[in-house]
Amino acid sequence: QKEVEQDPGPLSVPEGAIVSLNCTYSNSAFQYFMWYRQYSRKGPELLMYTYSSGNKEDGRFTAQVDKSSKYISLFIRDSQPSDSATYLCAMSAINNQGGKLIFGQGTELSVKP
Amino acid sequence: GAGVSQTPSNKVTEKGKYVELRCDPISGHTALYWYRQSLGQGPEFLIYFQGTGAADDSGLPNDRFFAVRPEGSVSTLKIQRTERGDSAVYLCASSQSPGRGDTQYFGPGTRLTVL
């Protein structure tokens, strides 16, 4: 079993829909939680970053972390065709001085006009 | 300013050959990471440098893989006796400090194909 599990999709939604992306994890030492967006043939770019539990909002994006359930989510409101990409969750453990990231498999999202 | 750059963007080689992949981190970033991303998968950690030294090489799959960062900036990932299973996108990332959770900025990757 992988340390981080993410449904690979693909997920297809109409423009304007609310998108919910999720990851589960098994390592209770994870304290740093990130969402990266990756366009085709590009490197991942950081979207959201959360330390420990709680919610964080940035424009149309909201990240949630529930450490008790070992579950993190990313919500995209008013989705746009430009949001079509692969979304990767990533985590880092508090006992890792180097900040090595453990990634989920990635969810491929397509937003149809 | 300039982001992380990687060269070449694509590399096609034959089984058994030696390859070198180069990463230029963001200027001033002391931490540098290599990841490997296979088709349809998330990136997998290979090695992390703090300055010139490899602080964590636990992700290197075997001794055919080696990486250096002699002057604490540019890094080279070296793969000997390439195998078809080495085909993947090799991503480099850098961060300002090695602090836990410090933002890692990724380059566009080098797509390696071993025939």
Residue A7's identity, in one-letter code, is D
Which pLDDT does position A98 carry in this prediction? 66
Token pair 């390592």 is at which residue? A27
Query: What is the tens place of the pLDDT at every residue in A6-62?
Result: 988 899 999 999 999 999 999 998 989 999 999 999 999 999 999 888 899 999 999
Gap from B82 CA to chain A (nearest CA, Å): 22
**Cβ contact (<8 Å) for A97 and B55?**
yes
Report strand pairing: B10-13 vs B110-114. Answer: parallel
Enumerate residues 51 to 110 of chain A having a beta carbon within 8 A of any beta carbon in chain B.
51, 88, 90, 92-94, 96-106
**Cβ contact (<8 Å) for B100 and A49?**
no
Query: Of residues A55 and A97, which shows the higher confidence score?
Result: A55
- The answer to whether the beta carbons of residues A18 and A75 sit under 8 Å apart is yes
Nearest residue, CB atoms, B106 vs list A45, A94, A96: A45
Which pLDDT does position A7 carry in this prediction? 86
Tell me the mean pLDDT in the region A79-106: 88
Interface A:B, Cβ pairs < 8 A: 79
B43, two tokens: 């990136």
Cβ within 8 Å of residue B97, ≥6 positions away: B30, B31
Query: What is the tens place of the pLDDT at every residue in B47-80?
Result: 999 989 998 999 999 999 999 999 999 999 999 9
Distance CA B22, CA B2 (A): 16
Which pLDDT does position A52 carry in this prediction? 84
What is the pLDDT confidence band of residue B5, given thresholds at 50, 70 and 90?
A: very high
Q: What is the DSSP track for B37-92?
A: E-TTS--EEEEEEETTEEEE-TT--STTEEEE-TTSS-EEEEESS--GGG-EEEEE
Which pLDDT does position A95 carry in this prediction? 61
B68, two tokens: 């250096």
